[in-house]
Structure 1
């Protein structure tokens, strides 16, 4: 994936000032910047979210989603409404929705926010497996934990993206 000269602002607040980024296949990358937000429909259950995205992606079945749910350890929440899920379980659902169509490029904003330690470890194992199968994974976070797990790291500062020297490419 390659993007060039991306600009974005929230009203008067400029957050991206001409961002260029190239994400190579089979790479696990990170961007450290300001805190982001995640949005689910609180009225829908986990299963309803899966069904909605299954239809949107035109998937024959939910096999991939069910595998991700098993890996992240939250299959028992299938009939719970998103409104009653903990922050960590909401994130598990977001990661599942992002992965259920088996994408070649995965962009994740604050994917492990609210995860317990076990799920946090499972997430990074899953990300490494995706990288090892040739997929590109970009994790955006406001915290730079576990940078040794990354192949590349960039810092978003004042709307500009700069390589971080902490991780060797």
Structure 2
């Protein structure tokens, strides 16, 4: 994924002030920033959910987007959600989804109605729906929200496996947890991206963000 010159404002409040970002294959990257810094706005633009005021986003292959707020129907079971997304993605089977459910340890909830699941288990399903079609680019907004410690560790193991399989993974959070697991880490502040050591982030062409 390549991002060049993203700008976005809500009325007179500028949220993004010229974002450049390169997300190559086989990279696990992170963006951190305080609440209200514009992280979710940036991800919505990267996923195509929101149109920027200015700028370009280009990517190859399919992408998966796990929003911070789960988008689930409380009346449906976990399995019914998987079947619905299987049809939407045009998948032949649920093998990948079932593998992720085993990795995150919630396969036993397959026939449970989503409305009675715990917040952490709902987030596991939210993440599974974003990954089950094996996308090339993964955009994850606070993906481990509500996870217990064991599931949190399993999430990072899964993220590393995806990176090692050549996927491009971007994790967005308000805190820099486990930054040593990341290949790239940026801070979103005042509408601009900076390398986490405080120096401005640079694109491959060398232009400062």
Q: TM-score, normalised by structure 1?
A: 0.90
Question: Alignment partner for residue 38 of structure 1, among 60, 66, 69?
Answer: 69
8 Å contact kept, 2:14–2:191: yes
User: Structure 1 81/148 Cα, relative in aligned 2: closer, same or farther at 3 Å?
Assistant: same
Structure with higher Rg: it is: 2
Provide the secondary structure at the position in 1 that maps to 2:143. Answer: coil
8 Å contact kept, 1:109–1:139: yes
Q: Does 1:148 find its partner at 2:162?
A: no
Provide the secondary structure at the position in 1 that maps to 2:70. Answer: coil
Give structure 2 stretches of 5+ with no counterpart: 41-67, 199-209
Alpha-carbon shift at residue 81 of structure 1 (Å): 2.7
User: Structure 1 113/11 Cα, relative in aligned 2: closer, same or farther at 3 Å?
Assistant: farther
Question: Alignment partner for residue 116 of structure 1, among 113, 124, 148?
Answer: 148
1:1-169 equivalences under 5 Å are: 1-10=1-10, 12-35=12-35, 37-41=68-72, 42-165=74-197
Provide the secondary structure at the position in 1 that maps to 2:76. Answer: coil
Alpha-carbon shift at residue 18 of structure 1 (Å): 2.1
Q: TM-score, normalised by structure 2?
A: 0.74
Give structure 1 stretches of 5+ with no counterpart: none
Distance 1:57 1:81 in 2: 22
Distance 2:174 2:162 in 1: 22
Distance 1:122 1:73 in 2: 9
Distance 2:192 2:17 in 1: 6
Provide the secondary structure at the position in 1 that maps to 2:71. Answer: coil
CA RMSD of aligned residues (A): 1.7
Q: How many residues align?
A: 166
Alpha-carbon shift at residue 46 of structure 1 (Å): 1.4
Alpha-carbon shift at residue 12 of structure 1 (Å): 5.0
8 Å contact kept, 1:40–1:82: no
Deviates more, 1:157-166 or 1:47-56: 157-166
Distance 1:34 1:49 in 2: 32
Provide the secondary structure at the position in 2 that maps to 1:102. Answer: coil
